[in-house]
Structure 1
Amino acid sequence: MTDDPPPGRAAGDAEPPDTPPPVHLAPDAPAPAVGRGGRRRDQAIALGWLVAIWVLLWGDLSWGNLLAGLVIGAAVLLFFPLPPVTFGGRLRPGALLVLAVTFAGELVTASLHVAAVALRPGYVPRGAVIAVPLRVRTDLNLALTAEVVSLVPGTLILEVDRDRGVLYVHVLDVRGPEDLTASRERVLAVERRVVRAVGSPAEVRRLNPELVDRRNHP
């Protein structure tokens, strides 16, 4: 299969020397390779997240937990290296604050709900597993959204389908279809807050496809 030459140029003519070849990237294509400085920056960000998760799991902010988190995080990055996940987003302090405050509120309300279910005499809660397709399918968004959802009592990530960008979530105390819908909406709300806090402008726009379609078709 051959490409036809553009108008005004013969088939044997060479490309102009100063014209770079076109690059076409799919919306969810992996990011280009980064240099040593970018790699170190990504490792530092990953180490910071591992330390934060370690402290959250222990539930105690202390120098001992911070030091242990640094050691464990460094060991994980050294002995269990994962494919590089480049950070092409933008840190937004306001959205980060919203993410943290909302997470703290959900942590308290979910803990009270689980405690009430556990202490209710004779009540047997029903659980369910739901599939939630995310709108931003990058590895970073999948990991952050899954971690935030798993840290809230009553919800647990059972599996992550990386290829399709789907989270399989176990939810507690399901009484009807409306509870399943509400659980999906809560996971998508977590994704929205995560992307708005650390995502790129293109990823933020992807959360509102109707706005993009409105711009393209006024």
Structure 2
Amino acid sequence: MIAYGWLVLAWNLFWGEFTWGNLLGGLLIAAVVLLFFPLPPVTFHGRLRLWGVLAFGSRFVVELVRASAHVARIAVQPGFTPRSAIIAVRLRVPTDLNLALTAEALSLVPGTLIVEVDRDAGILYVHVLDVRGPAALAASREQIRDLEQRIVAAVGSDDELRLVRTGTVAKEPP
């Protein structure tokens, strides 16, 4: 029911005005969309932890500023050609919510971009800018797992939090 309301609101915002015709059209279009393209259920078994949210937010802002400065330096450095790579990172908590939140946070940071998500295997394929060798690839994977741990610490269940703190990841995909 919430998705229905958001779709009706989005329809009216797309048209730029709220009229009776747009409201009725939005109600009809939202019903058709939800009938023929049902959304998968996203379960949330976690809880919101204030300290985790604050830690995630503050660290995210620091990473955002640092990555922005790094990309800006690359952009203005004369003659420098950055090397990039696409890495596969298997998340320790492969739930839909964790995949979505981790992918969104990564995409917001300059220098990283989600290329693909393997939902069944819980793998994110991430484009990383300015990679200088195998050690940098390993560091990038570790940064992504650290981001996942902070997200789970902010909104995950106790079991998920225990898993990211102590769990090991299966063999990395190539």
Q: Same fold (TM over 0.5)?
A: yes
Cα distance in 2 between the residues matched to 1:132 and 1:204: 18
Which structure has the larger Rg?
Answer: 1
2:78 maps to 1:121: yes
* Structure 1: gaps spanning 5 or more residues: 1-38, 48-66, 212-218
2:130 maps to 1:200: no
How many angstroms does 1:84 deviate by? 1.3
2:124 maps to 1:140: no
2:143 maps to 1:186: yes
The 8 Å contact of residues 98 and 151 in structure 2, kept in 1 or not, is answered as yes
How many angstroms does 1:82 deviate by? 2.0
How many angstroms does 1:176 deviate by? 1.2
1:177 to 131, 134, 138: 134
Alpha-carbon spacing, 1:168–1:87, altered in 2? closer, same or farther (3 Å): same
2:47 to 90, 93, 97: 90
Highest relative contact order (Cα 8 Å, sep 6+), 1 or 2?
2
Task: For residues 123-168 of structure 1, give each alpha carbon's deviation from its aligned partner in whole angstroms, at most 9, with x where no partner exists.
Answer: 1100000000000010000000000011000000000000100000
How many angstroms does 1:81 deviate by? 4.6
| Count of aligned pairs | 145
Cα distance in 1 between the residues matched to 2:115 and 2:149: 21
How many angstroms does 1:121 deviate by? 0.5
In structure 2, the residue matched to 1:130 is 87
State the identity %.
Answer: 59
Alpha-carbon spacing, 1:210–1:199, altered in 2? closer, same or farther (3 Å): closer
Amino acid at match of 2:129: L
2:111 maps to 1:154: yes
For normalisation by structure 1, the TM-score amounts to: 0.61
Alpha-carbon spacing, 1:71–1:96, altered in 2? closer, same or farther (3 Å): farther
The 8 Å contact of residues 92 and 167 in structure 2, kept in 1 or not, is answered as no
Cα distance in 2 between the residues matched to 1:106 and 1:114: 12
* Structure 2: gaps spanning 5 or more residues: 15-25, 169-174
For normalisation by structure 2, the TM-score amounts to: 0.76
Amino acid at match of 2:83: R
Residues 1-218 of structure 1: pairs in structure 2 closer than 5 A: 71=13, 78=30, 79=33, 81-209=38-166
